[in-house]
Amino acid sequence: MIEVKNISKTFGDRTVVSDVSFVFETGKTNLIIGESGSGKTTILKMMVGLLKPDTGAVEYDGRVFSEMNERQQQDVRKEIGMLFQGGALFDSMTVEENVAFPLRMFTDFKEEQIKERINFCLNKVKLENRNQLYPAELSGGMKKRASLARAIAGNPKYLFCDEPNSGLDPRTSLVIDDLILELTTEFNMTTVVITHDMNSVMQIGQKVMFLYGGKKWWEGDNKGVLTTTNKEVLDFVYASEFLKQLKPGLK
């Protein structure tokens, strides 16, 4: 379980995140949704320690991450896997080397064990026999899957996904969403997904936090998103004229 408690972040005179608290539950896909610029990525960066919150705390199963020194944070981070928006695969390494990187860095596995784990992870994300390809040779969806394989290689307790569907076609997006849900359930991870893709929300939104103007505006699940009376949530969900027609009475 990850808990954020009253976290805030200001850049210059602009408050990007304001007093947000939320509990990200274990074994569930926890989604942070909201418009562009609503503070989603800033919250995620504070959660993984790339940014330090101005106020508040981030706790990983009771361990106050935001108060730790760099070494202690590195130890917690070994339990984290992250899928970046652009994949963030290491260009100079093959898919196999990318997946093996955290294993070679943090485990004493023998080469056969590493090889076995690489194949297991690549099979999980349905990237068999792509071991020797470089990131530049992969499609957008394949990059995301390879990145997901790298994220789960170290058997993480916590999985973060930053806009996993951006730049992907709807069908590939569904594949990625299914993978995230499947891995979360199978490995009982605490998964945090940042998205503004409504298909993802409906597909994997077991717990949802809606951000608006840097504040937590609403929380619930994928069913609640459709039935809420919160105007800002409804404006977000039914953004297009086409969708508005599906919700009579919505202006």
Partner 1 sequence: MIFMFHIGRYFLLLKRAFSKPQKFRVYRKQFFFEINHIGISSLGIISIISIFMGGVVTTQAAFGFTSAWVPIYAVGFTTRESIILEFSPTIVSLLLAGKVGSNIASEIGSMRISEQIDAMDIMGVNSASFLIMPKILAAVFINPFLITISMFLGLLGGYTMGVFTGAVSSVQYITGIQYGFMAWKIWYALFKTAIFAFIITSIAAYNGYYTSGGALEVGKSSTRAVVWSSILILLADLLITQIVFTH
The site for partner 1 (CB under 8 A) is made up of 48-50, 73-78, 80, 82, 84-86, 88-91, 101-102, 104-106, 154, 160
Using DSSP, how many helices (H) and how many strands (E) does the chain show? 10, 10
Query: What are the residue ranges of helices labelled H in the chain?
Result: 40-48, 70-77, 95-106, 111-124, 140-153, 170-187, 198-204, 222-227, 231-237, 241-244
Are 98 and 90 in contact by the 8 Å Cβ rule? The answer is yes
CB of 79 to partner 1, least distance (A): 8
CB of 119 to partner 1, least distance (A): 20
Residue keyed to tokens 């717990």: 207
Question: Which pair of tokens denotes residue 208?
Answer: 């949802």
User: Which residue, 16 or 48, is less far from partner 1 as judged by CB?
Assistant: 48
User: CA 149, CA 95: separation in Å to the nearest integer?
Assistant: 9
CB of 239 to partner 1, least distance (A): 27
CB of 251 to partner 1, least distance (A): 40
Question: Which pair of tokens denotes residue 82?
Answer: 């992250």
User: Which residue, 13 or 91, is less far from partner 1 as judged by CB?
Assistant: 91
CB of 127 to partner 1, least distance (A): 18
User: Which residue, 80 or 237, is less far from partner 1 as judged by CB?
Assistant: 80
Are 196 and 36 in contact by the 8 Å Cβ rule? The answer is yes
Question: Which pair of tokens denotes residue 116?
Answer: 């076995």
User: Which residue, 60 or 236, is less far from partner 1 as judged by CB?
Assistant: 60
CB of 122 to partner 1, least distance (A): 18
User: Which residue, 104 or 126, is less far from partner 1 as judged by CB?
Assistant: 104
User: Which residue, 2 or 198, is less far from partner 1 as judged by CB?
Assistant: 2
User: Which residue, 114 or 174, is less far from partner 1 as judged by CB?
Assistant: 114
CB of 31 to partner 1, least distance (A): 19
User: CA 82, CA 150: separation in Å to the nearest integer?
Assistant: 8
Tell me which amino acid residue 8 is.
S
Tell me which amino acid residue 226 is.
L
Beta bridge pairs of residue 192: 30, 160
